């Protein structure tokens, strides 16, 4: 119910944004893998004040059966916001917005997966927004991609995502809530970590063509950084698990990198 007021500026005279960031600076991101014990794979993301959980179940039997795809698994993404995640209470029933975002998230993740390995099955990706403060669909993709890796679903690559937008004529990376609401445009995007191909692209607001091309370039730079954060989070989760099994592991097990399509790093073996 907290009444939201429009800030008097989005970029201050020194060129800094409302939360003190530079225009090309993303919010602090905290990624955790394996946060939900009941799930086959899970991850959480805190990106600024945005807080999202993602859980993966499967591959498992698909219900209802009429959704079955005979030559590959069905990827079912469900993006939901908690009633208390937004300033006004969100009605509990799924909204049109949530349904559309679920669909574009599925499309963003699909190209990274070997779904043909599991014909007729389903891989469920459940995303729960606990606190929404801008950029939730991109943050959701960042977490969902990690949860899929945690579940051991065969993947070509991780999928980082970020939104680039515009306020007061300047391009801004990783829009916060106010920048999204009162700014001049929003371009959420996601890419395949290995090839850089874009798997999510949406836009609102008004951009010149050159502006949009520049925005996408800034997005790709930010996503490359987020990809590194995702890899770090996976390594943290799995290096810890190895240590629990009683071996002396000071460093990360680098052979994990091969699973992420990072053959060149796999050369540096642990002693």
**29-68 binders of other proteins (CB under 8 A):** 36-39, 49, 51, 53-55, 57, 60, 63
Candidate segments 23-31, 81-89, 200-208, 237-245, binder of other proteins by CB under 8 A: 81-89
Candidate segments 10-18, 109-117, 121-129, 187-195, binder of other proteins by CB under 8 A: 121-129
Gyration radius from the chain CA atoms? 19
Using CB under 8 A as the binding rule, whether residue 19 contacts other proteins is answered as no
**How far is the C-alpha of 217 from the C-alpha of 221, rounded, in Å?**
6
Using CB under 8 A as the binding rule, whether residue 3 contacts other proteins is answered as yes
Shortest approach of other proteins to residue 198 CB, angstroms?
A: 27
Shortest approach of other proteins to residue 63 CB, angstroms?
A: 8
**Closest listed residue to residue 79, CA positions, set 115, 118, 48, 50:** 50
**Closest listed residue to residue 235, CA positions, set 149, 107, 127:** 149
> Assign residue 108 a region: left if phi > 0, alpha if psi is -120 to 50, beta otherwise?
alpha
Place of tokens 């060129």: 15
User: Which CB atom, from 147 or from 227, has the smaller least distance to other proteins?
Assistant: 147
Among 10, 18, 31, 127, binds other proteins (CB under 8 A): 127
**How far is the C-alpha of 202 from the C-alpha of 204, rounded, in Å?**
7
Which residues, 6+ apart, have CB-to-CB distance to 184 below 8 Å? 165, 166, 167, 168, 169, 205, 206
Using CB under 8 A as the binding rule, whether residue 88 contacts other proteins is answered as yes
SS3 238: helix
Candidate segments 22-30, 80-88, 206-214, 238-246, binder of other proteins by CB under 8 A: 80-88
Shortest approach of other proteins to residue 249 CB, angstroms?
A: 25
Using CB under 8 A as the binding rule, whether residue 91 contacts other proteins is answered as no
Q: Which two tokens stand for residue 129?
A: 């927004």
User: Which CB atom, from 62 or from 216, has the smaller least distance to other proteins?
Assistant: 62
Using CB under 8 A as the binding rule, whether residue 132 contacts other proteins is answered as yes
**Closest listed residue to residue 230, CA positions, set 74, 43, 57, 69:** 43
Among 130, 220, 229, 242, binds other proteins (CB under 8 A): 130
Place of tokens 């607001």: 205
Q: Can you give the binding site for other proteins, defined by CB under 8 A? A: 1-3, 36-39, 49, 51, 53-55, 57, 60, 63, 78, 80, 82-89, 92-93, 124, 126-128, 130-133
């Amino acid at each position: 119910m907290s009444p939201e007021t429009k800030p008097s500026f989005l970029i201050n005279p020194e060129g800094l944004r409302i939360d003190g960031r530079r225009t090309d600076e993303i919010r602090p991101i905290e990624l955790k893998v394996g946060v939900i014990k009941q799930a086959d794979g899970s991850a959480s993301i805190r990106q600024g004040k945005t807080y999202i959980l993602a859980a993966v179940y499967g591959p498992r039997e698909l219900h209802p059966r009429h959704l079955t795809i005979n030559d590959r698994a069905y990827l079912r993404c469900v993006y939901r916001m908690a009633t208390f995640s937004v300033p006004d209470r969100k009605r509990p029933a799924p909204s049109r917005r949530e349904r559309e975002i679920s669909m574009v998230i599925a499309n963003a993740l699909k190209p990274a997966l070997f779904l043909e390995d599991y014909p007729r099955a389903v891989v469920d990706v459940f995303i729960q927004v606990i606190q929404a403060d801008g950029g939730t669909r991109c943050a959701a993709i960042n977490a969902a991609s990690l949860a899929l890796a945690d579940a051991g679903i065969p993947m070509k690559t991780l999928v980082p995502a970020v939104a680039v937008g515009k306020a007061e004529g300047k391009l801004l990376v990783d829009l916060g809530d106010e920048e999204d609401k009162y700014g001049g445009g929003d371009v959420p995007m996601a890419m395949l970590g290995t090839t850089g191909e874009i798997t999510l692209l949406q836009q609102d607001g008004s951009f010149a063509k050159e502006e949009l091309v520049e925005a996408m370039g800034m997005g790709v730079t930010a996503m490359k950084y987020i990809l590194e954060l995702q890899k770090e989070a996976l390594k943290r989760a799995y290096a810890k698990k190895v240590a629990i099994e009683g071996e002396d592991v000071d460093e990360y097990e680098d052979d994990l990198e091969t699973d992420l399509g990072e053959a060149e790093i796999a050369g540096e073996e642990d002693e």
